Amino acid sequence: MLLSDARTKPLTAYRFLAAMGVVAFHCRDRVDLSSLLLDRIGPSMVTFFFVLSGFILTVVNDQAGKVKPRKFWINRFARIAPLYYLALLVSVYFVFGHDETESTSALLLDVTFFQAWSQKYALALNGPGWSLSVEAFFYAIFPLCFLVFRRLKHPLAWAITLWLISQVFIGWIIIAGRHAPSHAMTHFLICYLPLLHLCSFCLGVGGGTWIARLDDGVSLSSLWYWLGALLILSALAVAWRYLPLAEQPSGLPFATASSLLSPVFLALILVTVLANESATSVLRHPSAEFLGHASFAVYILQSPVQYAYFRVISPHVHMPPLLDVGVYALLLVAVSCVSFAAFETPARKFLRAHLTPSSRKFAVATSDT
């Protein structure tokens, strides 16, 4: 089943909603909006990005039939690097520590996209950047993942199996850490370590590989079988997350910030791309699509803009906390839209043109995920 751009277009708008969910989570303490829903769903939006990334990269590259690693890596670097490094530069200006050795180590890890592998420095400078460290790991292994899943007879079944195994392993980590004097290591492992997010990315790759093979009218029963299986897994994951039994003895929430809700997100993605156009008309609106494209800027610039606003502007403008956060959110969206159009897009095109050896005009092999 060849997915057209029209079918995958609504997924772009989802990215903006997910990014704003993360922003709301990070602002909850400023307006005393901490709640069961926000505290637990907010971090899961990053997992949604991981699943969506695996799905989109697979579907688009499946149309080409193969992944050329060098071109793929150049394309991905050009996509995330310009704005990532700009956000890091601004963050360094505001938060660079007094300990020169420690700050230099943190900066080195952030520059090389390795901060998520370090418990000490995962959030040291531009906190949200840890997920780009995870994405960089996914990009590094995607050509291999793509090849492996294309050769599997039941790619989605294998992806679900990997997810189930990961949940058992994460559960073991939490139980093993229940008597530890500190939960810091357990929290780092399940929330930030790239390896424990891999099942989310692979679930997206498996789902993308599977749906790319569907033949309308022939595999309709298979379609509903797998969607049903995903919905059942999603219901179990949500129930486990929100029932009282979900709280483990360690006091840490069970894997929600890692990968527990991945089947929920894959089911949402599959239902969306298979829905008719009228059902997703709002998501297809040009303004929704544009905001979706600007979502990366919303996500990666949230801390720098927050530093600037609440340290430079907010102290001189006395507003109620909720209105103050609202102004910050509007400013962030405005800055992100301008950044996407005036900096991110030109920089991406420039890097693609000048880093690709075969041609100065690189035909993009993947969408802007």
- Report the percentage of the chain scoring pLDDT > 90: 43
CA 2 – CA 191 distance, rounded (Å):
35
Does position 258 have pLDDT exceeding 50, yes or no?
yes
Tokens of 167: 């949940």
Does position 215 have pLDDT exceeding 70, yes or no?
no
Whether 94 maps to a domain, the answer reads: yes
Confidence of residue 216 (pLDDT cuts 50, 70, 90): very low
Q: What is the mean pLDDT of residues 30-53?
A: 77
What letter represents residue 85's amino acid? Y
Torsion of CA 65, 69, 73, 75, to 10 degrees: -40
Confidence of residue 246 (pLDDT cuts 50, 70, 90): very low
Whether 247 maps to a domain, the answer reads: yes
Does position 227 have pLDDT exceeding 90, yes or no?
no
Confidence of residue 365 (pLDDT cuts 50, 70, 90): very low
Does position 243 have pLDDT exceeding 80, yes or no?
no
Q: Which residues partner with 253 through β-bridges?
A: 247
As for how many domains the chain has, the answer is 1
The SS3 call for residue 149 is helix
- Look at residue 240 in the predicted model and tell me its pLDDT: 56
Give yes or no for a contact between 122 and 115, defined as CB atoms under 8 angstroms apart: yes
- Look at residue 104 in the predicted model and tell me its pLDDT: 84
- Look at residue 54 in the predicted model and tell me its pLDDT: 96
Confidence of residue 218 (pLDDT cuts 50, 70, 90): very low
Q: What is the mean pLDDT of residues 254-282?
A: 80
Q: Residue 262: is it exposed, middle or buried by C-beta count within 10 angstroms (0-12/13-18/19+)?
A: buried
- Look at residue 169 in the predicted model and tell me its pLDDT: 87
CA proximity to 14, closest of 257, 234, 344, 264: 264
Whether 369 maps to a domain, the answer reads: no
What is the domain extent for residue 9?
Answer: 5-355
Does position 255 have pLDDT exceeding 70, yes or no?
no
What letter represents residue 271's amino acid? V
140: left (phi over 0), alpha (psi -120 to 50) or beta: alpha
pLDDT-wise least confident of 106-110, 256-260, 345-349: 256-260
Whether 368 maps to a domain, the answer reads: no
Q: Return the residue matching tokens 């969607």.
A: 227
CA proximity to 289, closest of 2, 3, 4, 17: 17
Confidence of residue 95 (pLDDT cuts 50, 70, 90): confident
The size of the chain, in residues, is: 369
Mean pLDDT of the chain: 82
pLDDT-wise least confident of 21-35, 180-194, 198-212: 21-35
Residue 274, H or E segment: helix 262-274
Looking at per-residue pLDDT, the higher value among 184 and 135 belongs to 135
Q: What is the mean pLDDT of residues 33-38?
A: 57
Whether 66 maps to a domain, the answer reads: yes
- Look at residue 200 in the predicted model and tell me its pLDDT: 95
Whether 272 maps to a domain, the answer reads: yes
pLDDT-wise least confident of 11-15, 111-115, 228-232, 289-293: 228-232
Q: What is the mean pLDDT of residues 56-60?
A: 92
Does position 311 have pLDDT exceeding 70, yes or no?
yes
Tokens of 302: 């949230």
Confidence of residue 321 (pLDDT cuts 50, 70, 90): confident
The SS3 call for residue 56 is helix
Does position 97 have pLDDT exceeding 90, yes or no?
no
- Look at residue 11 in the predicted model and tell me its pLDDT: 92
CA 90 – CA 344 distance, rounded (Å):
15
Whether 348 maps to a domain, the answer reads: yes
Q: What is the mean pLDDT of residues 4-8?
A: 68
Whether 166 maps to a domain, the answer reads: yes
Torsion of CA 219, 260, 292, 339, to 10 degrees: -140
Confidence of residue 192 (pLDDT cuts 50, 70, 90): very high
Alpha carbon of 256 to those of 39, 115, 147, 261: distances in Å? 10, 21, 29, 6
- Look at residue 38 in the predicted model and tell me its pLDDT: 61
What letter represents residue 43's amino acid? P
Confidence of residue 281 (pLDDT cuts 50, 70, 90): confident
- Burial of 319-357, coded b for 16+ CB within 10 Å and e otherwise, reads eeeeebbeebbeebbebbbebbeeebeebbeebbeebbe
Does position 75 have pLDDT exceeding 80, yes or no?
yes
